[in-house]
Amino acid sequence: MHDSQRTAFAWVEAMQPHWSQWNAHIWDLAETAWREYRSSAWYVGKLRAEGFDVEEGSGGMPTAFAATWSNGPGPTIMAYAEYDAVPGNCQIADTYRAPRPGLSRFAGGHTDPHSALGIGSLVGALAAKAAMQAHGISGTIRFMGEPAEKVRGSKPIHAARGYYDGLDAILSFHPFYMMPYCNTARWDTHCGPYHAAIYEFLCESPETWLQGSGAAGGPIPAAHTMARAPGANDAVVAMYTLSKMMRDHMLPHSGTWTLNETILASGQATADNLAAQMAMIMFAARAPDVAMLRNIHAVLDRNAAAAATAAHCTVRKHWVSKSKPGLANHAMAEITFRNLERAGAPRYGADAVAKAQALQRELGLEAMPSPFADELSQLIPPEEAERRIRDQIPAWQTHYTSDDYTDMTWFAPTARFYVGRAVLKAPPGFAYPEWALNALGGIPACIDPTIATAGKTIAATILDLMLDRGTLAQAKAEFADRKAKEADPVPWCDYDPPLDFPWPEYVETPRGRAWWIPATAADRALAR
């Protein structure tokens, strides 16, 4: 460990009261995909105050940004923030279940949490910057703002529009979310490809549905008792049902892929005898290889056409994401894990233990003397994590799970590493509710250890890559070799940012800032 890394570690520790507040602020904003206006603005302001040149709205995305700070000629190393939350997960940062004050439980909430992901990465970048200035280390830090990760939204667009060009290395951090990826780095098996698309059904000519049948025509049938076109809602229901059937026929026979859906907009008619004019459903598919992914979407396209025909609609497909599978880089995994060892696993103090025990008692459990999962205090070498994950998946499978850092791996050698986040031990047969995990991600005593370890790891790795040109050259040679063996190295994104769809968001009302779905009596009853 060299002096500049000691300086960076000291910066992280000295600045803890500040970055803890930064994280609490982003966690409390909890803005969702493509609508992270305040979160993005906070990052832009902070980076500019730290001397970064910042491009707002990078790639044509209002809540994205691209920031650069340079201390002279040298390598350009990139880290990035995510800051989108998940609709329907609004939770107070405390040890009981309740939405944040004044909001519906259906509002956004940080689940992974991306709040800690972004602040951990920012802390690492700023700590490296401070050490570079103190020790006269030349080089450039790029820091990207990546919105809409939950739909793998921005990174394919940034990739296609040149924002990752010219980089020497990239660091991708995520809080632990599944074993064995806790306090480790990915080795060979990286995340796989992903497609997400919105199918928009329009019933624009309902009066023609029964033309020639002898039934009365017209947009409003007489006395509201005549037959009407099924309309857009029926098309969405039909596609939803057909696609559930597809899963029954494909999923058990085709390996580890997933297909999830959400209905974005519905109705456009009252409870009258009027056909619903517009409805949308989005499907997101994760697969271990490209051929499987394309097969899934070929069937979805056929389902959409059949549903539209049955419901007397037209259908249009709008791409949300086309995200590539990831490229491994052993040299980057090794250097990052070495610095994760220097940083050490997250350490939980008495305040964190007290919060965890209070949460256990809230759920009717006996408080445990050591409530946090044992794995959080352990480091797993990347090769060992690889061995464990390979025990869970078929031998033929080259990629597993989903995350859009993968689009970055085609532009520079990339490390993907994970730091433990607070999860609790469970008694036999007991499963913690989702709100409990979300709450731990917002309680400073429980989430700050994750940020500290991530920030130190990122800072130390940036400094290593700036100073150890031999290791950087090794990583770049491995990257060039792996990319040269791929038949499809270019970005897949051939669409504009999908900004103008009815993504869930906060709104300003006469009652103040609110979620677009108002709070209900049940929400208010949860408040204490």
Mind listing the pLDDT tens digit for each residue in 149-166?
Answer: 999 999 999 999 999 999
Q: Is the pLDDT score of 213 beyond 60?
A: no
pLDDT at position 214: 46
For residues 153, 159, 160, 163, the Cα torsion angle rounded to the nearest 10 degrees is 120
CA separation for the pair 371, 440 (Å, rounded): 12
Q: Is the pLDDT score of 342 beyond 50?
A: yes
Run of H or E including 72: none
CA separation for the pair 321, 328 (Å, rounded): 21
What phi and psi, each to the nearest 5 degrees, are found at residue 372? -85, 150
pLDDT at position 265: 77
Residue 468 has a CB neighbour count (10 Å cut-off) of 13
Please report, for residues 28, 123, 186, 457, the alpha-carbon distance to residue 120 in angstroms, rounded to integers and kept in the order given: 16, 5, 18, 9
CA separation for the pair 432, 262 (Å, rounded): 25
Mind listing the pLDDT tens digit for each residue in 412-442?
Answer: 999 999 999 999 999 999 999 999 999 999 9
Query: With contact defined as beta carbons under 8 Å apart, do 244 and 303 qualify?
Result: no
Domains and CATH numbers, the chain: 3-191+325-484 (3.40.630.10), 194-323 (3.30.70.360)
Q: Per-residue confidence at 219, pLDDT binned at 50, 70, 90?
A: low
Query: With contact defined as beta carbons under 8 Å apart, do 488 and 294 qualify?
Result: no
The residues facing 53 across adjacent strands are 68
CA separation for the pair 269, 253 (Å, rounded): 41
CA separation for the pair 492, 476 (Å, rounded): 23
CA separation for the pair 210, 468 (Å, rounded): 74
Run of H or E including 430: none
pLDDT at position 341: 98
Query: With contact defined as beta carbons under 8 Å apart, do 257 and 287 qualify?
Result: yes
Two structure tokens written together for 495? 């669409």
Q: Per-residue confidence at 225, pLDDT binned at 50, 70, 90?
A: low
CB-neighbour burial class of residue 218 (10 A; exposed 0-12, middle 13-18, buried 19+): exposed
What phi and psi, each to the nearest 5 degrees, are found at residue 210? -110, 20
Two structure tokens written together for 438? 């979300």
Q: Is the pLDDT score of 217 beyond 60?
A: no
* Residue of 273, 267, 270 lying closest to 227 (CA atoms): 273
CA separation for the pair 441, 102 (Å, rounded): 20
**Do the strands 76-82 and 140-146 form a parallel or antiparallel pair, or are they unpaired?**
parallel
Query: With contact defined as beta carbons under 8 Å apart, do 217 and 262 qualify?
Result: no
Q: Is the pLDDT score of 222 beyond 70?
A: no
- Percent of the chain predicted with pLDDT > 70: 94
Amino acid of residue 452: A
CA separation for the pair 22, 16 (Å, rounded): 10
pLDDT at position 289: 87
pLDDT at position 93: 97
Two structure tokens written together for 431? 């499963």
Count CA atoms closer than 13 A to 180's CA, side-chain side: 21
Query: What would the DSSP string read from start to end of 376-420?
Result: GG----HHHHHHHHHTTS-TT----S--GGGGGGGTS-EEEEEE-
Q: Is the pLDDT score of 82 beyond 90?
A: yes
Task: Using the structure block, give the residue that is written with the tokens 């580890």.
Answer: 256
Q: Per-residue confidence at 98, pLDDT binned at 50, 70, 90?
A: very high
Please report, for residues 180, 288, 333, 385, 387, the alpha-carbon distance to residue 391 in angstroms, rounded to integers and kept in the order given: 11, 16, 20, 10, 6
Q: Per-residue confidence at 288, pLDDT binned at 50, 70, 90?
A: confident
Mind listing the pLDDT tens digit for each residue in 355-369?
Answer: 999 999 999 999 999
Count CA atoms closer than 13 A to 279's CA, side-chain side: 26
Query: What would the DSSP string read from start to end of 314-362?
Result: EEEEEEEEEEPPPPP-HHHHHHHHHHHHHH-S----HHHHHHHHHHHHH
Q: Is the pLDDT score of 177 beyond 90?
A: no
What mean pLDDT, rounded, does the chain reach?
Answer: 93
Residues near 207 by Cβ (< 8 Å), separated by ≥ 6?
217, 218, 219, 229
pLDDT at position 512: 83
Averaged pLDDT, 287-307 = 92
